[in-house]
Amino acid sequence: MDVLSRPLIDRTLPLLAEGYAWLPNRMRDTPGPVVRTRILGRPALALRGPEAVRFFYDERNVHRHRAIPEPVLATLFGHEAVHTLDGVAHRTRKSLFLPLLEPGRIAGLVDRVTAAWDEAVPAWSRRGSVVLFDEASTVLATGAHRWAGIPLDDADAEATARDMTAMVDGFATAGPRHLRARRARSRQEERLGRLVGDVRSGTVTAPAGSVLDLVCRHRDADGEPLDEKTAGVELLNVVRPTTAVAWFVAFTAHALHKWPEHRAPLADGDMRFTAAFAHEVRRFYPFVPFLGGLAARDLYWRGEWVPAGGLVMLDVYGQNHDESLWGDPYAFRPQRFLERSAERDELIPQGGGDPGAGHRCPGEGITVGVLEALAVRLARTEYTVPEQNLTIPLHRVPTRPHSGVLLSGVRPPAVAP
């Protein structure tokens, strides 16, 4: 039977049921790293591998406009966000985020986040136990706001962090988690849209050169400033994912619990090992399952076909666990990144390609920098991990250790890190 006449049963339900394992399972059943299927009523082609990354990020093949379903826009990214743009409109909007790649900006954020962490840990000590995921998200939201020049009262930090994580937690489900995510987004878009209005009217001053300042002054490809709602959406596209580094902090604690031999080199401040550890956390643990765009024209990949307008999916989780790239993909082994570098189109937890030219995450340097700093702090902190459910269910997207990683008897390091 040729590819065109193969029946294509819609696979949206198995996807929702199997989560991270769905595409890798389908890939195992096919001779090459490509799967032809049907998702959300559209014919779809799923790819993986460094060459597939280059194919996927070539705008002549795949575009993003109208590619992201409304429930994902209404929770995770926001309507009219940079994620939804192509061509000149995308490049112009993306220029707003490219300064986030500068080492000086990354260092500034790392300083703010580590200061917030050091302020918070003594209070964790006074409590019997804390859920690390929740505490880390509050620390990250606090640090991100201070660095971005966005006012946030300490009293509001926890609720704001809960909104940030809710938007990520609820994008891929129906039901209460999804409704929570929609409400969180409306609340935060309204808060930040109002702030943009206040800055522009002179009621509030944005620190010169801060993210808030850049967003308020940005002009899109049409020469117009962002309307208040879209400006709020893009401010959220900085503070929300920075807060979401809490997922990787929880995974870090999980890794240190399961493989305690990694604690000493982190605590000793071995910088090469710390960088390798951060990459391995991002590779090994499940966060982004796959990425999607629409075929800009009829496309063929490795003999499989998808018509113009069909869905093209990049199998992110599958590629980060592809035996042909990693050898022993299901072993947590930071040393692999001492033996080899993290190649641009091989390690793709935050997308592939060039962040300046395509949709790759502009926050990768921030994520790695913050994760390194917090992994070292966690390794230097004394605590116990009481009996709890640390399983990471692969059918749940996004997933995390079930308990959020409960820590008890937290004792800050005697000497400041």
Footprint of ligand HEM (CB under 6 A):
82-83, 94, 97, 100, 237-238, 241-242, 244-245, 287-288, 291, 349-351, 359-363, 366-367
Q: Residue 261: is it exposed, middle or buried by C-beta count within 10 angstroms (0-12/13-18/19+)?
A: exposed
Nearest distance in Å: CB 132, ligand HEM: 15
**Residue in the shown chain whose Cβ atom is closest to ligand HEM:** 363
Q: Which is nearer to ligand HEM, 231 or 245 (CB)?
A: 245
Between CA 243 and CA 249 the distance in angstroms is: 10
Nearest distance in Å: CB 261, ligand HEM: 25
Nearest distance in Å: CB 351, ligand HEM: 3
Phi, psi angles (nearest 5°) of residue 191 = -60, -50
From first CA to last CA, the distance across the chain in angstroms is 63
Q: Is 276 helix (H, G, I), strand (E, B) or coil?
A: helix
Between CA 216 and CA 205 the distance in angstroms is: 11
Q: Is 305 helix (H, G, I), strand (E, B) or coil?
A: strand
Nearest distance in Å: CB 367, ligand HEM: 4
Between CA 414 and CA 412 the distance in angstroms is: 6
Q: Which is nearer to ligand HEM, 65 or 408 (CB)?
A: 65
Helices (H), 19-82: 22-28, 50-56, 70-72
Q: Which is nearer to ligand HEM, 117 or 287 (CB)?
A: 287
Nearest distance in Å: CB 2, ligand HEM: 31
Beta-bridge mates of residue 45: 36, 312
Contact (CB, 8 A) for 405 and 131: yes
Q: Which is nearer to ligand HEM, 171 or 287 (CB)?
A: 287
Q: Which is nearer to ligand HEM, 287 or 337 (CB)?
A: 287
Nearest distance in Å: CB 287, ligand HEM: 5
Between CA 284 and CA 299 the distance in angstroms is: 31
Q: Which is nearer to ligand HEM, 310 or 363 (CB)?
A: 363
